């Protein structure tokens, strides 16, 4: 199965992605994790990614698509994947040709997302209040149209992400036609 998890930062994508990965026995891949790892590299690309992320901005469509497709070409993703944090823009969604089956939108309010993020301990440079607010703005500007793109294709499942973790997980499984 090939799934994408979409939601504002703090919506619970990584929590649900890891639960789904165990249940479905397929790999979970976070674009944010990939970019944070690359930002540690002492290369021009690593510096570009680090500076872009620390400002709360988005990596370019072309670079993001290239990096994600390179990762998904690896053997561990051939039987399926759960992708978190990609695509973030309509051009990325339109250019992504990897047999995507379903998109799960974990819907939470800005207030809930900020509350969750402020409650977790983080030493990440890209989780300053300014960077988080910028990413929330970018989500509304660029990613909400992606949600509509997938809704129009009939592969979007909108899930209330402001409930108990297990309730959300069971809801996702039910929508995928999988027994809990």
Q: What is the mean pLDDT of the chain?
A: 92
Q: Mean per-residue pLDDT for 87-108?
A: 95
* pLDDT tens-digit map of 116-140: 887 776 666 767 778 788 889 989 9
Model confidence band, residue 47 (pLDDT cutoffs 50, 70, 90):
very high
Q: Please answer whether residues 64 and 123 qualify as being in contact, where contact means their C-beta atoms are separated by less than 8 angstroms.
A: no
* pTM listed for this prediction: 0.88
CATH code at 139?
A: 3.40.50.300
CA distances from 51 to 42, 44, 56 (A): 12, 11, 9
Per-residue pLDDT, 79: 92
Residue predicted with more confidence, 17 or 127: 17
Across the beta sheet with 81-84, the strand order is 27-30, 81-84, 2-6, 102-107, 156-160
Number of domains in the chain: 1
Provide the residue range defining the domain that includes 86.
2-176
């Amino acid at each position: 199965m090939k799934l994408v998890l979409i939601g504002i930062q703090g919506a619970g994508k990584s929590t649900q992605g890891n639960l789904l990965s165990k249940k479905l026995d397929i790999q979970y891949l976070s674009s944010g994790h990939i970019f944070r790892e690359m930002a540690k590299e002492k290369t021009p690309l690593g510096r570009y990614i680090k500076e872009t992320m620390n400002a709360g901005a988005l990596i370019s469509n072309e670079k993001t698509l290239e990096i994600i497709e390179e990762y998904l070409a690896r053997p561990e993703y051939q039987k399926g994947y759960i992708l978190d944090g990609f695509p973030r823009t309509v051009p990325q969604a339109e250019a992504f040709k990897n047999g995507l089956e379903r998109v799960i939108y974990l819907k939470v309010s800005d207030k809930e997302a900020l509350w969750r993020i402020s409650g977790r301990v983080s030493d990440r440079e890209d989780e300053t209040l300014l960077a988080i607010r910028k990413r929330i703005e970018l989500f509304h500007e660029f990613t909400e149209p992606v949600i509509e793109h997938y809704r129009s294709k009939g592969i979007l499942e909108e899930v209330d992400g402001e409930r108990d973790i297990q309730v959300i997980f069971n809801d996702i499984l039910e929508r995928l036609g999988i027994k809990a």
